[in-house]
Amino acid sequence: MNIVVCIKQVPDTMDVRIDPKTNTLVRDGVPSIINPFDEFALEEGLRLRERFGGKITAITMGPPQATEVLRTALAMGVDAVALLSDRAFAGADTLATSYALSQGVKKVGDVDLVITGKQAIDGDTAQVGPGIAARLGFTQLTYVSKVEGAENGTITVERLLDGGRERVEARLPAVLTVVKGINVPRQPSILKMKKARNAEIPVWTAADIGADPAKTGQNGSPTWVDRIFSPDQKSGGEVYRGEPDEMAGRLSELLLEMMAK
Ligand code: FAD
């Protein structure tokens, strides 16, 4: 099975700060890590290779320092990596990001499966995986909590839903977005980490992946951040305590009063 895993470098902080002028994340002075969901994606790729054979390529789109996450992927055991990096990718929204990544997948060639995390802990949109699937015309399987099997051009997975789990059989090629807990990501050995630290990381530019300049970076981003602000703190309000029936009654009275206004 020919697998591509998309991994993203994210700030290692809960205190995400935004540059008020550019409306982009302040990354200076903030340590970076691999997006935690992407460690599950990498581990799942490695387990599928162990079960069905094949090759795994990890790709990331980002500035030169994003090579760090590719070194983590190499230390975990992927076969190949590529950094998609070019000024033309700067300022990408999720549409332009998924376009560039899908072009990267095309460059890898003959891919059966793309695995992404459910979401990135900074952008948090969960749009990139589905975006890649749409661009490539691959089957889209989101919130995957288990891969049961893959044979004869199909894959069987379990998806995590709000009220339960869903078992789905789908045609390959496919894009999976995986949830936390699908596996326990392996810890690479010191030796493998040292080897990965010295590895040469291939860099793919927009031209290398045959990207249309109108679809990358800011040019290819129909959405932009207009303003970022913290919502006003709510003040006042009333707290009702008591038996559930009593509170439900009071709540319905209040709703009826509001509707009557
Ligand atoms: P999600 O969709 O939540 O990520 C899901 C999965 O997709 C991840 O687990 C990972 O597997 C994969 N993935 C996501 N991003 C990457 C990546 N780069 N490489 C490899 N795999 C990846 N950022 C800027 O720097 N400048 C901007 O001007 C800018 N403008 C934006 C405007 C808008 C309206 C929005 C919504 C976002 C903007 N961003 C900008 C952020 C940028 O779009 C996101 O960093 C990027 O598109 C990924 O989206 P996400 O973080 O929501 O990923």
pLDDT per residue as tens digits for the range 72-104: 999 999 999 999 999 999 999 999 999 999 999
Average pLDDT, stretch 58-78?
97
Return the best residue to mutate from 93, 101, 115 for the ligand 1 pocket (most ligand atoms within 8 A of CB).
93
Ligand 1 near 126 CB (within 6 A): yes
User: What's the pLDDT score for residue 87?
Assistant: 96
User: What's the pLDDT score for residue 253?
Assistant: 92
Report the C-alpha gap between 105 and 114 in whole angstroms: 8
> Could you tell me the pLDDT band of residue 175, with boundaries at 50, 70 and 90?
very high
Mean predicted lDDT score pLDDT of the chain: 93
User: What's the pLDDT score for residue 103?
Assistant: 98
Answer whether residue 65 shows pLDDT above 90: yes
Answer whether residue 143 shows pLDDT above 80: yes
Q: Whose CA is nearest to atom 20 of ligand 1?
A: 60
User: What's the pLDDT score for residue 191?
Assistant: 96
Ligand 1 near 216 CB (within 6 A): no
Average pLDDT, stretch 165-182?
97
Where helices occur in 109-243 by DSSP H, the ranges are 128-136, 190-197
Answer whether residue 173 shows pLDDT above 90: yes
Answer whether residue 229 shows pLDDT above 90: no
Answer whether residue 19 shows pLDDT above 80: no
Q: How far does residue 241's CA lie from ligand 1's centre (Å)?
A: 43
Ligand 1 near 129 CB (within 6 A): yes
Ligand 1 near 175 CB (within 6 A): no
Q: How far does residue 250's CA lie from ligand 1's centre (Å)?
A: 44
Q: Whose CA is nearest to atom 13 of ligand 1?
A: 8
> Could you tell me the pLDDT band of residue 164, with boundaries at 50, 70 and 90?
very high
Ligand 1 near 97 CB (within 6 A): yes
User: What's the pLDDT score for residue 237?
Assistant: 78
User: What's the pLDDT score for residue 29?
Assistant: 75
Ligand 1 near 21 CB (within 6 A): no
> Could you tell me the pLDDT band of residue 168, with boundaries at 50, 70 and 90?
very high
Give 85-119 as a DSSP string. --GGGTT--HHHHHHHHHHHHHHH-S-SEEEEES-
- Residue with token string 């010295």: 198
Angle at which helices 67-76 and 190-197 pack, to 10 degrees? 140
Q: Whose CA is nearest to atom 50 of ligand 1?
A: 123
User: What's the pLDDT score for residue 2?
Assistant: 97
Ligand 1 atom with the shortest distance to the CA of 97? 47
High-pLDDT (> 90) share of the chain, %: 77
Ligand 1 near 117 CB (within 6 A): yes
Angle at which helices 94-108 and 128-136 pack, to 10 degrees? 50
